[in-house]
Structure 1
Amino acid sequence: MSQTWIISGPPGCGKTSWILNTFKNHSGNCGYVRLGGYSEINLEQAINSKIDFAFLKDQIPNLLDLSSSKLPLEVEKENILIIIEFPQFFIPKFQGISGIDLRVIKELEINNLQPNKYLHFGRDLELPIKDTLDFKAIESCSIDLKKNIWDPASLNTFWFELVNGAYGDVYRAKALMNLPDGRYILFNWILTQKGSQYQTLNQVAPLNGRPERHSEIVIQGKNLNFQLIKSTINNCLLSDAVLEHHQATLRNSQLQTSRN
């Protein structure tokens, strides 16, 4: 039996982690789509980030991307669990399906999706509430970093500065970063947590140039210095020449190891 759920909540409440665990406990096919959400007065939504799908796909390789044009065919798969992730600042006025934002209903109708379950962080007891914050004002900054690779030491310094207020009051920061040794790392920070979370993903890029996979950083907070953030990031990224030097050293090291 197919199921279609909507999971909504404010930034950093744990939507994606909960969705991952739910997918892992489902015995059939799984499909995912993330909606962009709607900005409110003084509350700016982040752009429709692809970080969440890239992370979920890394953890569940067979996960179906239901944002594609093949959506109607995918929905017909037997025993599929479809989860629609939707960022939303406010608790819905009504319980269950009746509480879905009418604008979301229209989006779903266009994509032939009919939810039969709706859960919101901070309202429904099935969901944890530890990191559910009531935001009064928030700004958002999203930077596409595809094909960019970070200098590891500079990345560590930048992230430490970021979450400790050097670029404004950061409530939420999430990123997928490429490193020169081919690693793909998820960075995650929320005001309510003790320290940042780091997870090295399963994908490892070959040591021969810039990977095509998604890379991005999303920052949400107040009084953010967008220009300083962007200029600092640019200074942390490797040029083609420096990247080739790093990768050549790593390739030679791997070659020597295989010979021994």
Structure 2
Amino acid sequence: MSVPNITVVAGPAGCGKTTWICQQIQNLSASVNVIYFSPGTGKVPIDQTHLAADFPNIKVFHDGQETEFLQQLAKFEAAYIELGFYLELTSVETILDGLSYQSLAILPPKLQQSEYHAWADKIIPGADIDTNIISNQLWRVPSNGQVIDEDSLQEFWYEITHGAYGQVSRAKGIFDVADGRSLYADFVAGVPTTEFLELDLPRHLEGRPERFSGLEVLGNNLDESAMKRTLEDCYLSEVAITQYQQQVKQILLEEKIE
């Protein structure tokens, strides 16, 4: 069996693992077949969805697909495995079942003598996150099929990132908004904030979207119940979804005619 060039990428939350992988994929020739796997994300595959939207030609595997991933490896020339901070570094050995790989750690510049240094074949400087913050609470919630009012989402995101629900060190999410777009939100404490990013996905303007959306928040003393209630308050009703979609379709039709 031919074995692809396997790179396992690890590092603290928010240091830039997915960003680095995306950069490597961009630099590869379009003829190179690429496979990507990020275990441990459960029903909230934010990075997988984001990466698949940016690179529709690569093969993306989700949590629980370890067997399928191994079976497909021989068909690809390059493979990337992203280990979330919540996984043991040795877990990749079980996944790869004896296959050789390059271990690479994306680390903040000030971090020294960590478990990542002992594990990695190569260290890549990542985002300058605050390594003194020890977050012990990870909250995940899928919102598949829900459509969100964008103004309400902006307000909710501001509250999350400004301490309304506890000390947040990392937050990311994918949301379907009323005009049919899918938006990616990303926050890392201590790193300059970015605007919502529209994913390269078709506008969904026919009922509830049948694609992934969801939220992940990492921090301390998080009020999960309050976050859940506020998020649900952002969801639009069936009637509101229909009205918004009809309005957007009419606007798009008029723009096309012009």
| TM-score, length of structure 1 as denominator length | 0.83
Tell me, in whole angstroms, the C-alpha distance in 1 between the residues paired with 2:135 and 2:219. Answer: 8
Map of 1:168-247 to 2, 5 A cutoff?
168-247=166-245
Tell me, in whole angstroms, the C-alpha distance in 1 between the residues paired with 2:218 and 2:61. Answer: 26
> CA separation of 1:259/1:102 partners in 2, compared to 1, >3 Å: closer, same or farther?
closer
2:48 paired residue number: 53
Map of 1:56-67 to 2, 5 A cutoff?
56-67=51-62
Tell me, in whole angstroms, the C-alpha distance in 1 between the residues paired with 2:150 and 2:210. Answer: 19
Tell me, in whole angstroms, the C-alpha distance in 2 between the residues paired with 1:251 and 1:129. Answer: 40
Which structure 2 residue ranges, 5 or more long, are not aligned? 108-116
Partner SS for 1:101: coil
Tell me, in whole angstroms, the C-alpha distance in 2 between the residues paired with 1:128 and 1:144. Answer: 28
Partner SS for 2:83: strand
Give the deviation of 1:215 after TM superposition: 0.5
2:89 maps to 1:101: yes
Contact 2:165 2:226 (8 Å CA) reproduced? yes
Give the deviation of 1:195 after TM superposition: 2.2
Give the deviation of 1:58 after TM superposition: 0.7
Aligned residues: 238
Contact 1:150 1:177 (8 Å CA) reproduced? yes
* Higher alpha-carbon deviation: 116-125 or 216-225: 116-125
Which structure 1 residue ranges, 5 or more long, are not aligned? 37-45, 91-99
Contact 2:179 2:248 (8 Å CA) reproduced? yes
Partner SS for 1:243: helix
1:29 to 30, 33, 43: 33
Give the deviation of 1:72 after TM superposition: 4.2
1:86 to 83, 87, 90: 83
Query: Over aligned residue pairs, what C-alpha RMSD do you find?
Result: 2.2
Contact 1:10 1:132 (8 Å CA) reproduced? no
Tell me, in whole angstroms, the C-alpha distance in 1 between the residues paired with 2:179 and 2:160. Answer: 24
Give the deviation of 1:134 after TM superposition: 4.8
1:117 paired residue number: 102
